[in-house]
A and B are shown apart, each in its own frame.
Chain A
Amino acid sequence: MSRGANPGPGRVGAAFDRAGMLLVLALLVALCAATVRGFVGPENVMNLLLQVSTVGIVATTMLFCLASGNFDLSVGTLIPCGGVLCALILRQTDNLFLATAGALAFGATAGLINGLVVAKLKINPLITTLSTMMMIRGLAFVFADGRSIGISNEAMLNLANSAFPVFHRQGSDGVLFQITTPVWICLALFAFFGFVLKRTAFGRNTLAIGGNEEAARLAGIAVDRVKIIIFAVQGLVASLAGVLLAARLGIGDPKTAQGSELSIISACVLGGVSLSGGVGRMSNVIAGVFIMGVVENAMNLLNIDSFYQYIVRGAILLSAVIFDQFRQRKGSG
């Protein structure tokens, strides 16, 4: 929030940048509440939260990636691959800790490779992560031998379905409303990475690198190291999202979460993260995540065919990017 009194042009625009997406989200929610049957109600809110948790978890680190002027497509296949790997290790060992650690280590390694190639070899992040995305998809099918792997480990299934608080329907055992562990993890990551971006030297350096990489380097910032860490953490978190998704579905399926990288990036761009780097704040990304989630949820409730949902999702991304471009031009003018 601005402390000084500095009236002038761009003030309204800046205020809109800060609160704009929250406003859009509020309008969207009001619209859906008024027109979509079944949108309001504990059951749907519960669903909505669970639905956005996967995209939300990965968006927290995608925010760093985009804010540093980079890009990561490989998360879209790391999510299923992390889930498959976790299920595979569970089937072999039945050890929850080993399975989770293995999946997370795999994700971190994949991210580390992305980061090394981008930072040290100076390869375009789009091409780099497009390549690793395909490789990881292949690995997911190899791990799973082309099928999905069922999860029978009780602790693992509990991980996804445990909830706090739980409200029961009056006079019965049925659940009225609950917040499950994946949702709590998502919220915790929102808070944690929001703090890292805003309050730590690492977060500030991330924005400086995205804003002007050469200036950041000449200011003595270890640009390569920051980038490598960002990609490695991104890989780790994407894999974590995959583990939680697998636990929720009860299977490690190499075919889940297809195209989720685009939903994640869309959510960030909707949240005002500039694709050219240097600008981003967690509160707006959260708004972006929920805008995407609410639109998808409403389309599901309205029984809109998934084919049309792709069109709508694409249109949202396109308009977010055009909006970003418009804002950039206004800014430089």
Chain B
Amino acid sequence: MANADGAPVPFLRFENVAKRYPGVAALRGVSFDVAEGSVHALIGENGAGKSTLLKILGGSQRPTSGCLRIGGLERDFRSTSEAIAAGVAVIQQELQLVPGMTVGENIYLGHLPVRRGVVDRRRLRELAAAQMRRLGEEIDPDTRLARLPIGQRQTVEIAKALSRGAKVVAFDEPTSSLSAREIDRLFAVIGELRRSGCAILYVSHRMEEIFRICDACTVLRDGGHVRTHSSLAGLSQNSFVRDMVGRSIDDVFGYAPRPLGPPALEVDGLSGPRLPSPVSLEVRQGEILGLFGLVGAGRTRLLKLLFGALRPSGGSIRIHGRPVAVREPIDAIRAGLVYCTEDRKREGIVPMLSVTENCNLTARRNNLRAFGVVNERWERSNVLGQIGALGIKTPSPEQLIRNLSGGTQQKVILARWLSEEVKVMLLDEPTRGIDIGAKSEIYSLIFRLAREGMALIVVSSDLPEVLGLADRVAVMREGRLSAVLDRADASPERVLAHALPLEKAVPA
């Protein structure tokens, strides 16, 4: 299993793997090797390209260029079943299991042992029990999956992969919903896989886990390959953080300090579903508050509570000093607080309607004629005004919005809100999935709005973006506001340190 010089043989190899989506490069030529019988960590910020790489490995996406080799053979998976057939298993955060079926049926789903066309129950039980024993679990294969805790379900998923002869196993944040004890068991299972010669890819944000079980590590940033460490000996957490954040925060953002006015938004003790501790914060007129956190840290939830898209269970909101009761989005909109959603396709645009319709959807209500009849003159002058002011590139206001680029769609959504009298604007990942040119236009728009006295909260998973825009940076971790830093104090290392999950306390 080793070369003459004793180095492990690369079993899985990524060769210049690139993936382009319209307007964005998710992966730009990533190359690295994963050896047989080793655990290889894959780390990077949100959006660095880790999930895209796993999707390509698992066959749910195809690379735009480049290829992967498994055991020396070039592979181009056109479907997940082709990847499975080639011995690849990707263990997702969302397990691909059927809760109503038994453990044994789940493990052999799709290739149940049969005798004369009927499922051979006895053989299924024996095979499944053997698979589970191999992973150090003693579970009755006839147990319904729904009765198992999440940690054991994950083991079932791994056993399912092994039953199909997986030689390459990739884990995507496998510990995110496990207890400390379950994590220990999982690591024992991963150790078992390593001993049996699997090539293992391990994606996680948790540095201490990576130091605990990984043999090698690859760092991705902005879809590019930063570095591969073939050994973790002598490396510190800080060196990884530097690699992950990388580029310095330079002047592409064009930040300039502004005079700040009185408080525009005061939030006191806001609580709601899945926000474990109440949040209090303040944004002043003309101020840009950056809000950083890993995916799932609760940033979007906080914004949706402020906007009334989720129902808050307590706390108070004041806008320009006046208390506002927000129960529905329209309450927030009337008070001058608006929210640009993260998921433009699902929560922002109405794809089958025109630019005009999408732009005027909200502000129309203030400009109606008698009996709710739409004022066509206002409709036209408003949309044309916004198209001019924001530089919206559309052949005509009647163009269906789904035919426009992501950046243009985003501008139409911004136009929808700027047709209102906005005091506070919440922007959730305002530059996700849009090209560089449109990005910088949106940055200058954000600065312009702040100069005009608007208060803005900008959520982004892109740390340089947050640091480049914000006057202050708020950081969230696991549903809590973990820090609010002034621009001068907000170094990438400090922000990331407040965002990365704390080590789990071992339950007594």
Contact = CB atoms under 8 A, between A and B. Distances in A.
Nearest to A14: B400
A267 B373 CA distance: 27
A215 interface: yes
Interface stretch (B21-29, B293-301, B342-350): B342-350
Interface in A192-236: 199-202, 204-205, 207-208, 211-212, 214-222
Interface stretch (A1-9, A30-38, A58-66, A181-189): A1-9
Contact of B365 (A199, A201, A208, A214): A201
Interface string B392-406: 000111110011000
A212 B339 contact: no
Interface stretch (B36-44, B116-124, B252-260, B351-359): B351-359
Given A4-B397, A199-B374, A214-B346, A219 B361 contact: yes
B362 A201 contact: no
A220 B399 contact: no
A67 to B, nearest CB: 10
A278 interface: yes
Interface residues of B, number: 34
B19 interface: no
A204 B357 contact: yes
A200 B346 contact: no
Residue from A3, A216, A220, A221 having most chain B Cβ neighbours under 10 A: A220
Contact of A211 (B339, B347, B350, B372): B350
B353 A207 contact: yes
Contacts of B347: 212, 214-215, 218
A49 interface: no
B364 interface: yes
Contacts of A199: 373-374
Contacts of B397: 4
Contact of B350 (A2, A5, A215): A215
Given A211-B350, A278-B352, A278-B353, A220 B362 contact: yes
Interface string A1-28: 0111110001000000000000000000
B189 to A, nearest CB: 39
B454 interface: no
Residue from A202, A217, A219 having most chain B Cβ neighbours under 10 A: A219
30 contacts: A4-B396, A4-B397, A4-B398, A5-B395, A200-B371, A204-B357, A204-B374, A207-B350, A207-B352, A211-B352, A212-B346, A212-B347, A212-B351, A215-B346, A215-B347, A216-B350, A218-B307, A218-B341, A218-B347, A219-B329, A219-B361, A220-B329, A220-B330, A220-B365, A221-B362, A278-B350, A278-B352, A278-B353, A331-B352, A331-B402
Q: Which 6 A-B pairs have the closest CB atoms?
A: A4-B396, A211-B350, A220-B330, A6-B395, A220-B333, A212-B350
